[in-house]
Amino acid sequence: MLESLKVDVCEGNLALAREGLVAWTGGNLSAREGDYIVIKPSGLRYCEMTPDDMVVLTLDGRIVDGHRGPSSDTQSHLTIYRGRPDIRSVVHTHSRYATAFAAVGRPIPCCLTAIADEFGGPVPCGGYAPIGGEAKLSPS
């Protein structure tokens, strides 16, 4: 089921590791097709990950394909997809510098043209939410 999307989601997760945006099994990427999402499995090292390890769920969190447990952040991904039907993919990285700003609860200042181009201003820091908890979607 959704074999082509599983390949894309697996490659997207591997790219996070290749680019140093995650470490060990941290971080996760998912994508949506219609009423289904494909997400990385929980706790699997990137060097062992294959498209067959991806997990397919419905938007209400029911697993419909896959032999592994979905990411521990699945509920946060699903909350975003349910609240924003226009969003087709969610990426959760552990990028070193962004994590440092988040750890002290500060926005990333708009001090580079790349940030201005991509975000149009400072990158806000979201409030605390427990892992796998319902992410607090504030109207953006």
Ligand X SMILES: O=C(CO)[C@@H](O)[C@@H](O)COP(=O)(O)O
Q: Which residues contact 92 (CB under 8 A, 6 or more apart)?
A: 27, 28, 29, 73, 76, 77
Among 85, 128, 131, 139, binds ligand X (CB under 6 A): 131
User: Residues 52-71 vs ligand X: string with x where CB under 6 A?
Assistant: -------------------x
Contact 125, 102 (CB under 8 A): yes
- Residue 49 CB neighbour total at 10 angstroms: 19
- Give the containing element (helix H, strand E) for 39: strand 36-39
Q: Are strands 89-92 and 63-65 parallel, antiparallel or unpaired?
A: unpaired
Our CB check for ligand X shows the closer of 72 and 109 to be 72
CB of 56 vs ligand X, minimal distance in Å: 15
Total of chain residues touching ligand X, rule CB under 6 A: 12
Q: Write out the binding residues for ligand X, residues 21-40 only, by CB under 6 A.
A: 25-28, 40
**Amino acid code (one letter) for 42:** S
**Contact code string over 91-120 relative to ligand X, x by CB under 6 A:** -x----------------------------
Residues that bind ligand X (CB under 6 A): 25-28, 40, 42-43, 71-73, 92, 131
